[in-house]
Amino acid sequence: MMMKIITLFLMLFVVMFAKEGGLRAEISSESPPGYSLDLFMSHEYIDNLYLTNKKEKDDFISLLGASFTANKDFQVSDLFFNYKIARSFYWQYSKNNAFRHSLSLKYLREFTKKLSLSFDNNFYRSEEPVEENKEIFREHKNKRDIYYRNISSLILSYYITRTLSFDIGASLNYYQDKNPDNEDSRIYTEFIRINKEYTRYFWNCSLNFIQREFQSDPQVNSWGVDSSFGYKLSSNKNISLNLSLERTQEMGIDSEDYWAYQGAIKYDFSPSPDQEYWFTLGYYYRDQDGTSDNDKGLSYSINYMKFYRYTTVKLSGSGGYRYEYGEAENTGFTEYYLLNVDISRDFSRTLRGELGGMYRYEDFKDEDRTDKTWEFYASIKKKFLQRLYLQARYNYRHVNSDLEGESYTENIIQLFLIYNFWRGQTIW
């Protein structure tokens, strides 16, 4: 039955995607200037509720919620605010019923022509196994307990001259989970950065410190220096060299301290208003104290965006090493390679379709484990009347791990109904 539903959904999408498009769609994920209040409801089917590889359990989930958005440009400041609240209802496993909250706040304030302050905060509370923050890789498996995450950052910028600026900032990544198998964490980051521009050259250098605190595991601290040297080939074309070094120390008794070095070349080009891309290619090396068993490999990042008349194509990816701390699992130093592809097409003024996929490879250097993740999604969004939207979406996710019990496959079919209850330029 599940495969029949998936097949019919994909056949419908492929037929619509092959049609000749009309005018550009008015449907947009970006919030227009002003204030708005949306009411929404959704219904979805999940065939692997707890992301297990044996004895999978399926369920239907209904969702009712509301979303308020404020997006305003003032004389000396900019503000974006969005808050969502929803209640999930599980048809079979009602013990998982929960309130979901999501808050996003971005604020920029210019005190003078030289001094400005920016604040960014993202908070969410959920029982969903895959977090909404795409930079969090680890899933919440086996249970659907409530967890919280709040990521805040504050940056103060000062222009000493027109071509010389100074930034100082701090951020906090706060994570708390009701599942005792997942460890609560706090990650504090502070940095100082100097930026300098010349007629054809530019340069920046930053010094950062990261403190990672956990509920039971030993604290992990890092400090590093990062510097970039660039040359402006033309008004829309740059090339630069990035060099960085980082020292990581585990504060436990059996600590594994190390140095990490990385060098990369970056090239970015905007050949036209409807096309832009950049990519980096580099090499990293981890030198562990007291051992010759070190890690090394290639690093890269890519970002490509092309706007056609009715279609938008996005390609993005990155690879090298990352620190997987403060997630559902603290797997530590990890080599990874990631690639995302997203395609959207406007069939008419009121109809939009999207296709996308992702592949990720992870080699956990501090554990005897590698993971490979594939993901695919397809969605159709239709605008009815002036304020009513209907969206259908299918999502496939497969994880192949050489660690027993970590592999799984998940299929999700979702139906969303969104009603723009109110929109205006002022609140009153």
Q: What is the pLDDT of residues 249-286, one digit of tens each?
A: 988 767 789 999 999 999 999 998 899 999 999 999 99
| pLDDT in 10s for each residue of the chain, 428 residues | 445 444 444 444 433 333 333 322 333 345 678 999 999 999 999 999 999 998 899 999 999 999 999 999 988 999 999 999 999 999 999 999 999 999 999 999 999 999 999 999 999 999 999 999 989 999 999 999 999 999 999 999 999 999 999 999 999 999 999 998 899 999 999 999 999 999 999 999 999 999 999 998 899 999 999 999 999 999 899 999 999 999 999 887 677 899 999 999 999 999 988 999 999 999 999 999 988 778 999 999 999 999 999 999 999 999 999 999 999 998 999 999 999 999 999 999 999 999 999 999 999 998 889 999 999 999 999 999 889 999 999 999 999 999 988 999 999 999 999 999 999 987 76
Establish how many alpha carbons lie within 13 A of residue 56's alpha carbon, considering only the half-sphere containing its beta carbon: 14
The pLDDT score that the predictor gives to residue 98 is 97
Judged by DSSP in three states, 8 sits in helix
Sign of the C-alpha dihedral computed for residues 265, 278, 120 and 220 taken in this order: negative
Distance, CA of 208 to chain centre: 22
Q: For residue 355, give the nearest of 398, 396, 409, 388 by alpha carbon.
A: 396
> Three-state SS for 16?
helix
In 10 A of CB 424, how many CB atoms? 10
CB atoms within 10 A of CB 189: 16
Element at 11 (helix H, strand E): helix 2-17
Q: Are 350 and 382 in contact (CB under 8 A)?
A: yes
Question: What is the four-CA torsion angle of 316, 245, 119, 130, rounded to 10 degrees?
Answer: 50
Q: What is the pLDDT of residue 15?
A: 36
Helix (H) or strand (E) holding 3: helix 2-17
CA–CA separation, 218 vs 202, rounded Å? 40
* pLDDT score, position 31: 67
Instruction: Say what the pLDDT of residue 373 is.
Output: 97
Residue type, 17: F
Q: Which residues pair with 345 in a beta bridge?
A: 311, 353
What is the spatial distance between Cα 321 and Cα 334, in angstroms, rounded to a whole number? 5
Domains and CATH numbers, the chain: 2-424 (2.40.170)
Residues 428, 423: Cα–Cα separation, whole Å: 11
pTM value is: 0.87
- φ/ψ of 22, rounded to 5, equals -100, -125
Q: Residue 405: its pLDDT value, please?
A: 87
Q: How far is the C-alpha of 53 from the C-alpha of 404, rounded, in Å?
A: 9
Who contacts 398 (Cβ-Cβ below 8 Å, separation ≥6)? Answer: 373, 374, 375, 408, 409, 410
DSSP string covering 74-106: -SSEEEEEEEEEEEEEESS-GGG-EEEEEEEEE
**Per-residue tokens: 130:** 């895959």
